[in-house]
Amino acid sequence: MNISKAIRSAFEHFQAGKLQQAENIYKEILKVEPNNVDALHFLGILHYQLGNYDSAINYFKEVLLLDPTNADAYYNLGIAFERKGQLDKAITCYQKTIELNPSSADAYNNLGLILQEKGQLDEAITSYRRALQLNPNYFYAYYNLGNALKRKGQLDKAITCYQKTIELNPSSADAYNNLGSALQEKGQLDKAITCYQKTIELNPSLADAYNNLGTALQEKGQLDKAITCYQKTIELNPSLADAYNNLGLALQEKGQLDEAITSYQRALQLNPNDAYTHLNMSLTFLLAGNYKEGWKEFEWRQKLDEHFKHNFLQPLWDGSNITGRTILLYTEQGLGDAIQFIRYAPLVAEYGARVFIECRKELKALFKNVGGVYKVIAHGEQLPEFDVHYPLMSLPVIFSTTLESIPSNVPYIRADPILVQKWREKIHQENSHLRIGLVWASGPGGLSKRKSLNLNILSPLAQLNNISFYSLQKGEVAKQTKCPPIGMRLFDYTEEIDDFSDTAALIENLDLVISVDTAVAHLAGALGKPIWTLISFEPVWQWMLQREDNQWYPTMRLFRQPSPGDWKSVIGRVRKDLEKLFLERQ
């Protein structure tokens, strides 16, 4: 047998996809030369192509026994180990490849991929950059480097890498898709949408691109288009749980609650332990008034990675008698949530327990004036000894709260009388028939942008006579008070507000608070003060759908956007009702 000719023939069969013929020839070669390194190596590659990874590994190992300096065999062995999920062995093989062949950009790239998969992002980034030093036109290494940088939150650098990938390989749908994702994270929605559309143009069957496009369109408020994208995603990949979850969110935002729950349930059939989907479904149940199912699903929030967690040695309270014992109740999420749920503290005290509250420092002084609270500790302060603990937002489960049994007696928070007097002396020098507090912007980011408005949008209120407005707005947008709408009597003492106890005392001296959906709205409601809450079109579970009243806060009225972004009509209704209120006061 002419061994060289036989190896060429086998390789030609291999390239033509005639794998069985190629394998037969290689095996005939090995009968003649059992230690033929080329035949063994190509058999390893052939078995890898067939998915016979164990056989491939054995062949590559035989090669390395015969030729320990064969860098290609180490590289291919690394690929086979990687496919088998044996990542540490694959790393060793790639490192050996690099030792034998320091110019192997592929080995550095593959090593980076495994390091990235293991969460060793800095090491992965170093490996990708070494690959690019060796091969500056290695578009796949640019793409992988972009992914690693994106995971580290270095979005601008990731965007540069994706753009370089596209420059080198304009047909890379994945690069366009991930570039879109990075741009979306930066809030550049229009550019992200363009990238997703280009992805779909290059690869119309890429379900993930439709899913991403849907999220960007939904973020822009284009719900019908987003829903169409999610439906297309599901058509292309019916097993993608994330698409069903996103579809549920869009349907929920449109107020189609039954359809949203059905979509969440389908997502959970595919991925039963996805905490995000359980939480989204809980909020839909609560929005629909189905508190029994809603509270049960709401407990999944505690399984989220970003959820505020305590690892206490003391047991979790099970609702049993705790007379004479001490319980620690702790807040978890936003300030408004804490104010809403602190109403349960007096009910826990009625069990005979001594109640400690752990909360954010802004609420510490305020919560000292809640009935039944023995002691308040700010996050980060030394906790006192206690017997059992329980998260504040889980108390509706303990008390089996339904829509009809919400503990809604107000006020359940009382302002400090000394502070109330301090603010009375400060503001009562301005003579007005009505004193109204204003909050026009919610917290930064996400849905908060839709919940917020610009102070100038309140200009229709500026022409009302004998009304003084008091800013309760904190944060960067509070600077807008320096240029209020023409004619508005707006007083701003917010620099003198230290925490929510000051805010509460100021509110006690006002006739009315007008606020977007933010913590101040909850505070005014908890104090039992008249509060008009300006609600964006997107549903929020506390405010349910369509109602103008609220079961949690008897003194609250809701002014809802009739369509996304329509604050003009909301402020128009507020002005009319203020005119009526003013006439009543006269």
Report pLDDT for 527.
98
Is residue 342 included in any domain, yes or no? yes
CA angle 535, 519, 493 (to 5 degrees): 110
Report pLDDT for 445.
43
**Residues 476 and 394 both lie in one domain:** no
DSSP 313: S
What CA–CA distance (Å, rounded) separates 107 from 113?
10
Identify the domain containing residue 542 by its residue range: 417-585
Q: Which helix (H) or strand (E) holds 357?
A: strand 354-359
**Residues 485 and 344 both lie in one domain:** no
**Residues 471 and 539 both lie in one domain:** yes
CATH number where 522 lies = 3.40.50.2000
Report pLDDT for 447.
47
**Residues 358 and 440 both lie in one domain:** no
Is residue 549 included in any domain, yes or no? yes
What CA–CA distance (Å, rounded) separates 73 from 68?
9
Is residue 82 included in any domain, yes or no? no
Q: Which helix (H) or strand (E) holds 359?
A: strand 354-359
DSSP 548: S
What CA–CA distance (Å, rounded) separates 265 from 259?
10
**Residues 495 and 569 both lie in one domain:** yes
What domain count does the chain have? Answer: 2
Report pLDDT for 443.
72
Is residue 409 included in any domain, yes or no? no
**Residues 394 and 444 both lie in one domain:** no
pTM, to two decimals: 0.89
**Residues 383 and 468 both lie in one domain:** no
Structure tokens at 555: 């003194």
Measured over the CA atoms of residue 270, residue 274, residue 280 and residue 282, the dihedral's sign is positive
**Residues 434 and 352 both lie in one domain:** no
* Helix segments in 16-70, DSSP class H: 19-32, 37-49, 53-66
Report pLDDT for 245.
98
Report pLDDT for 305.
80
Cis peptide bond prior to 396, omega within 30° of 0: no
**Residues 440 and 578 both lie in one domain:** yes
The residues with which 53 forms a beta bridge, in sequence order, are none
**Residues 366 and 451 both lie in one domain:** no
What CA–CA distance (Å, rounded) separates 165 from 175?
7
Polymer length in residues for the chain: 586
DSSP-derived secondary structure for 122-162? HHHHHHHHHHHHH-TT-HHHHHHHHHHHHHTT-HHHHHHHH
Exposure string (b/e) for 141-167, b if CB count within 10 Å is 16 or more?
bbbbbbbbbbeeebbebbbbbbebbbe
The residues with which 329 forms a beta bridge, in sequence order, are 357, 390
* Number of neighbouring beta carbons within 10 Å of residue 102: 12
The residues with which 471 forms a beta bridge, in sequence order, are 438
**Residues 553 and 463 both lie in one domain:** yes
What CA–CA distance (Å, rounded) separates 81 from 69?
19
Is residue 13 included in any domain, yes or no? no
- Nearest by Cα to 374 from 391, 386, 360, 361: 386
Structure tokens at 526: 């908890």
Report pLDDT for 446.
40
What CA–CA distance (Å, rounded) separates 420 from 508?
7
Decide: 169 and 138 in contact? Cβ < 8 Å: no
Is residue 487 included in any domain, yes or no? yes
**How confident is the chain (586 residues) per 10-residue block, as mean pLDDT?**
79 81 84 87 91 95 96 97 96 98 98 96 98 98 98 98 98 98 97 98 98 96 96 98 98 96 98 97 97 97 83 94 96 93 97 96 96 96 96 96 97 97 86 88 67 95 91 93 94 94 97 97 98 95 95 98 94 95 81
Is residue 320 included in any domain, yes or no? no
What CA–CA distance (Å, rounded) separates 241 from 263?
9
What CA–CA distance (Å, rounded) separates 515 from 493?
17
| 326-330 and 434-439 strand pairing | unpaired
Is residue 345 included in any domain, yes or no? yes
- Nearest by Cα to 413 from 333, 509, 519, 504: 504
What CA–CA distance (Å, rounded) separates 261 from 280?
9
DSSP 187: T
